[in-house]
Structure 1
Amino acid sequence: MESLKQRRTIRKYQQKDISSDLLNDLLETSFRASTVGNMQVYSVIVTRDADRKARLAPAHFNQPMVKTAPAVLTFCIDLRRFSKWCEQRKAEPGYNNFEWFVTGAVDALLVAQTFCVAAEEKGLGICYLGTTTYTPQMIIEALELPELVFPITTVTVGWPAETPAQVDRLPLEAIVHEETYHDYTPEDIDRLYAYKESLPENKQFIAENNKETLAQVFTDVRYTKKDSEAMSENLWKVMKQQGF
């Protein structure tokens, strides 16, 4: 519980390798995560090679930790392995559809988070890369992913070379709903986001981007509607190209 409460994202790593024994133990442990139907419709691509990491970097907007982390783990939806097993056992698979794409994403993300908790408990630091679904085709090409395999999230992992401050989180009442969903009043929104809006670093974001509110930094600068729609269109196209 204490490790979870004190966790923080690590983007700078010591130039110290992670032993194969430790990494494999963490991965094997993470595979005990819940999985739909005990089917394990996921795969993990472990990238240690410097040249291969360099090929991955542009897909992640060249964030430096892709090259500097001793290991980069790409967690993939994988309906290929299970479908091949079905076909070789005289069973007809029907898993090349959107339902199983979502199911595979759930499976893969459960494994990814279980891995991260286990890794942090061993003293390692991790960083999720949300860029994985921005340009999936680049990752598919770099990792040579076949049909029915799709990258859904990426984690860099290594021994921490920094101890950054924890970032803010919304209070419990903002997220937990008792029995049914309780919609938010304008007063609720003001109260629940007051702390986030009061932080000096967030006020600095507003000033640096010449905006009136923190929300405008998100909608107008960081995650625009135009970019989101373009990435959504590309995500759907690449999903189809991968056989879903």
Structure 2
Amino acid sequence: MEIKPLVLIVEDDKPICKFIKVSLETQNYKCIETESGSHAVSLVCSMNPDIIILDLGLPDIDGIEVIEKIRDKTNAKIIVVSARDRDRDKVEALDKGADDYLTKPFSVPELLARIRVGLRNINKHADNCEEISNFKLKELEIDFEKHKVYIRGESIHLTPIEYKLLELMSKYRGRVLTHRFIIKEIWGSYCENETQSLRVFMASIRRKIEIDPAQPEYIITEVGVGYRLVDE
């Protein structure tokens, strides 16, 4: 018997919560819901959900605090669905450990697509007990053992930093990576001055792998937040 993915919905607006729950259950997801951030933390520990859909404006504790409390306790993918649309709110949620961020109002197809990406990434992590030796996305290939990158079958030259950036994004394929996260991972510590350097390196990578860097099909800019490597 196929096990249905379990989705925890943390939302204090009852009509929205019901709307999300009904939409997901028609797609064969099993759902549990709560309007309390504190109860959500308990449910994460007791029910072990696969996906967590989290509002930030909760009646007891802020959603950001919920992320901080649960991030080290679960491998579930956290998708924030919030009316807060400022870049700093998105960056803070993602930096604290959220995997994705949708702004209300949102479309059901978009939410379902983000959930599918989250589940795919969970399954990849579970299947890859041994470190993979290569990565393939459309016509982009990375040979991790040889540190080689190919686009449309042709080997391309990347600087060491460019390679490390592409390797990092491939490991988090489909997830929005903030400027702060990328800079800390690549340079070891965060410095605001490195943001411009990051943009330069990303532009250089795009020139090498994209057919049209102005309309990228691999590396997407999340304005004011960071970058995302697409997931087919």
The verdict on a shared fold, with TM-score over 0.5 as the criterion, is: no
Larger Cα Rg: Structure 1 or Structure 2?
Answer: 1
Higher relative contact order by CA 8 Å / sep ≥ 6: 1 or 2? 1
What's the TM-score, normalizing by structure 2? 0.30
User: So what's the TM-score if we normalise by structure 1?
Assistant: 0.29
Greater fraction of residues in helix: 1
